[in-house]
Every structure is written in C-alpha cells, then in structure tokens.
C-alpha cells in the first residue's frame, strides 16, 4: 500500500489514514497528489499559542508527524534556552493580538486551521477574543486543545502552579520525595510531559479522526487529572519490597533492581549469593533487604555489571545521562538523532 501526499505548492485538508494510488482523491479545490509517501499529518495546519513545555512539546510531536505548525508569539518574545529545541520545524509568526492589523493577519489562519493549541489559564483566550466558541463559529472543524494544570473547571482551575505543585497536589510526590530532612525533587517534569504533552497529542489525534462524523471539539487537557493513572501499581513499588529497589555499590554507584517475578528473583538471588533462609522475602522483608544491601555494597559496580549482564533478572546499573547517550543500544536505534529523545541534547546534563 502506497500513501500519497499533496504535491509541492498545494494545500490539502488534514487527512488521517492512507490515500491509495488507485483511488481518485479529491480534497480542497486545486489539490492533487504525487506518488510519494505522506507523513500521517501532512496537510494539517496547527496554530500553537503555547509557550511553556507541555504545549510546545506536543506541537513538536505533531510537526514531526508532518503537520505544519505555526507558532504564534508576542513581538520580541524569545524562547527559554531549555525550550529552544522545541521550536524545531515550526514557523514563527509574531503578532500583537490586541492590534487590529495583527488580528486581521490571524483570521485567515483561524479559518483554515485543523488544530489550535493553547496553554493559558482558563478565560485568557476568551478575553483575547480567541475562545473556543468564537473560533469554532469561524471554523466548525477545528480541534481546539487547551492544556492547563487543573482543567477548565473546578475550584483550582485558576490557581497558579508548576510541575512540582501538580505532582504534590495529586499525591504523586508523596510516594517518592525522600524525608522531610532530605527531600528529593524528581528529575523529570512528570506533569508537564506525562500529564500534558502526551495526553494532548493522543486526544488531538483521536479528535482529528472523530471530526469527520462529529465536527471539531474543545479538548480540556488537565495535567493533574492525567497524573492519577501514573500511580497504578504504586503500592507494589513503594512497599519496601527487597525485589524492587536501589542498592549502593562499593564504589558509590547504584544498582536498580526490579526482580518482582519469582524467576527473576531466583536468578538475582543466585547471582548475589543471597542466604537461603532470606530468599523467601515474605517472611522478613526488612531483613532480606538489609542483607541484599550489604552484599551489593561489598562489590564494585563493574563487578555487578559483568555478573548481571549475563542473566535475565531485571537489574541494571543506574546510568548517567551521558552514559545513556553513549549506550550502543540507543545509538543503534538513533534515539538521539530523531524522535523526542533528540531534544535531550539541548537540555542540561547530569552532574558528573
């Protein structure tokens, strides 16, 4: 099956799914197809009004899937250094939305856009005259995606917050924040990416598919709502089981152990030579964990790496970001040359 794309210089509406060579495809007037493969979102126009991480990452993923993304920004605005990589493949259009002339420039884009992504607090786009009701009146087929911390409704919908507040409010942070005397800040923006960017992309794609029968829609993507599914299974991994934890080696590295299933646990116990009476960890989990910790601490990380590599036991050393970038597996998959992982090259590296 060969898929076709609009020929260069023409504009066709967003098409989800293949267009076959032996079909007569008629889209917008004047569009035609050549015999090249199309990307999934070729012909889709996305207007991106977002500035912080969740929206720009979502629209980057759409751009890499073939969408034409136009980043609407204030005149003179500059990207934060950390987020500059998220502008890759996007066109930029500086507009002062309070000026009639700039609004006139925006109107034809609103009329033909397939997707609009915004990340303001609820009500801001409405006050700018760009709320869903107004835009959908001009373009009933638009998929209008609003990404916020707490959603468009509810007592907290207008509360100012960042990632750390979202994971705190939902209880996710309490599961792995260290102790009050030694609190630990998660190294990833969990709410922004797992609760914002990816749910936004998933729902935009679903809405594009559905609009052929129902028309456009307003997507209310709440980062906090989307964090609760991330806690599925948390009682198991936060229970203190010796089978799932982090153990320090003699040279200060850390071994990550996830040997939950019995075959993996049996193999792990054999590798480290755990005492027979402690292998049934249900009897005294604390004693088993303490003994495992003592054994792991008795050898250097390279010793453990050599031993576990030869076996299937769900164990590995905790890698630094630099080590991960040099990992032959990720190199073989070109993980840092394409796809979301490629943006890591523009982010701060872990301390050495």
Helices (H), the chain: 54-64, 100-112, 124-127, 132-138, 163-169, 190, 198-214, 234-237, 262-272, 285-296, 301-309, 321-326, 328-332
Helices (H), 113-187: 124-127, 132-138, 163-169
Candidate list 192, 220, 225, 281, residue with the active-site label: 192
Tokens of 58: 């979502």
Tokens of 51: 């500035």
Pairwise CA distance, residues 243 & 231, whole Å: 19
Q: Report CA torsion sign: 273, 279, 284, 285.
A: positive
Burial class (CB in 10 A: 0-12, 13-18, 19+), 137: exposed
220 carries an active-site annotation: no
Pairwise CA distance, residues 174 & 167, whole Å: 8
Pairwise CA distance, residues 67 & 60, whole Å: 9
96 carries an active-site annotation: no
Q: Are 110 and 139 in contact (CB under 8 A)?
A: yes
Pairwise CA distance, residues 321 & 338, whole Å: 17
Pairwise CA distance, residues 216 & 282, whole Å: 54
Pairwise CA distance, residues 83 & 73, whole Å: 14
Q: What Å distances lie between residue 93 and 48, 68, 82, 178, 219, CA to CA?
A: 10, 13, 20, 44, 24
Candidate list 32, 34, 96, 162, residue with the active-site label: 162
Catalytic residues: 162, 192
């Amino acid at each position: 099956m060969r898929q076709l794309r609009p020929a260069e210089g023409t504009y066709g509406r967003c098409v989800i799914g293949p267009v076959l060579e032996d079909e007569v495809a008629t889209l917008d007037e004047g569009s035609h197809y050549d015999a090249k493969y199309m990307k999934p979102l070729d012909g889709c126009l996305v207007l991106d009004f977002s500035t912080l991480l969740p929206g720009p990452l979502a629209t980057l993923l759409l751009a890499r899937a073939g969408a034409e993304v136009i980043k609407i920004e204030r005149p003179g605005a500059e990207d934060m250094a950390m987020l500059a990589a998220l502008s890759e493949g996007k066109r930029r259009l500086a507009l002062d939305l309070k000026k009639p002339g700039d609004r006139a420039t925006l109107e034809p884009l609103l009329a033909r856009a397939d997707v609009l992504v915004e990340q303001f607090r609820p009500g801001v786009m409405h006050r700018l005259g760009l709320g869903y009701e107004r835009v959908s009146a001009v373009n009933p087929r638009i998929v209008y995606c609003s990404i916020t911390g707490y959603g468009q409704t509810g007592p907290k919908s207008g509360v100012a917050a960042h990632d750390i507040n979202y994971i705190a409010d939902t209880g996710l942070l309490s599961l792995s924040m260290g102790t009050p005397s030694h609190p630990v800040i998660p190294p990833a923006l969990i709410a922004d990416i797992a609760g914002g960017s990816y749910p936004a992309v998933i729902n935009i794609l679903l809405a594009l598919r559905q609009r052929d029968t129902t028309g456009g829609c307003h997507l209310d993507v709440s980062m906090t709502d989307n964090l609760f599914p991330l806690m599925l299974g948390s009682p198991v991994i936060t229970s203190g089981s010796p089978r799932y934890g982090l153990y320090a080696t003699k040279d200060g590295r850390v071994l990550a152990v996830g040997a939950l299933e019995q075959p993996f646990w049996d193999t792990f116990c054999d590798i480290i030579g755990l005492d027979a009476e402690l292998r049934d960890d249900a009897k005294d989990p604390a004693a088993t964990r303490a003994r495992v910790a003592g054994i792991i601490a008795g050898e250097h990380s390279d010793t453990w790496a050599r031993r576990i590599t030869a076996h299937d036991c769900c164990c590995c050393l905790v890698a630094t970001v630099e080590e991960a970038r040099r990992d032959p597996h990720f190199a073989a998959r070109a993980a840092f040359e394409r796809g979301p992982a490629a943006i890591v090259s523009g982010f701060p590296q872990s301390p050495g």
